Amino acid sequence: MRNKNRDELGSFEGNKEAFLVKNPNDSGDIVLKTQADTVLYFLQCLDIAKVSNVLDDNKTYQNFEKPLFIKKLGSALDEFIEAGNTYLNRYEGVCNSKTCNFNCKGFSFVGNKSEDYLDLIIDIQDGVVLDIYECFSFKCEYQEIQKNENIGLDKSDYPF
């Protein structure tokens, strides 16, 4: 296992090596073994360029072609940055809606300063991200987290 800084990480395609990186919230190091680990890490780091580099170009995410999804996700990450956040805390949970993705695993990403949040279902199989989509009925496993405003991906879907 090698220590790498985040600028050295790129594609995981064909790469069997694990990388040790600094946790964005300064709580030690994180081992990145898979493409999914790396996507989650760069989301926490608010680094849309690296998220884009690691995600598969040939997949859709939230039923959008990758470039449009990255643009929407990038706008959401920009909102976190504009609110003064330097990283996102990540909390595991599941979709709590029985009409869509009940019990699908995901994460609540919460800004370290604003406590604004983005809830995402991330479909991961064998360490690979197959899909990412926003969840409007997310239930965190950790009940004590403080959340303020929802930062959405696709504002055109909002009813107001």
> Which residue has 């050295």 as its token pair?
8
User: Within 10 Å of residue 18's Cβ, how many Cβ atoms?
Assistant: 13
Asked if the model's pLDDT at residue 14 lies above 50, the reply is no
Distance CA 94, CA 96 (A): 6
- Please write the tens of the pLDDT for every residue from 20-66: 677 676 666 778 999 999 999 999 999 999 999 999 999 999 999 99
Distances (CA, A) of 109 to 73, 87, 104, 142, 144: 12, 9, 16, 12, 14
Question: Residue 154: its pLDDT value, please?
Answer: 73
Question: Residue 24: its pLDDT value, please?
Answer: 74
Question: Residue 142: its pLDDT value, please?
Answer: 77
- Please give the radius of gyration of the chain, using alpha carbons only, rounded to the nearest integer: 15
| Residues sharing a CB contact under 8 Å with residue 132, sequence separation 6 or more, in sequence order | 61, 62, 69, 73, 120, 121, 122, 123
User: Within 10 Å of residue 14's Cβ, how many Cβ atoms?
Assistant: 5
- Please write the tens of the pLDDT for every residue from 136-147: 989 998 778 899
Q: What does the DSSP 8-state code read for residue 8?
A: G
Q: What does the DSSP 8-state code read for residue 7?
A: G
Q: How far apart are the first and last CA of the chain?
A: 49
- Please write the tens of the pLDDT for every residue from 58-95: 999 999 999 999 999 999 999 999 999 999 999 999 99
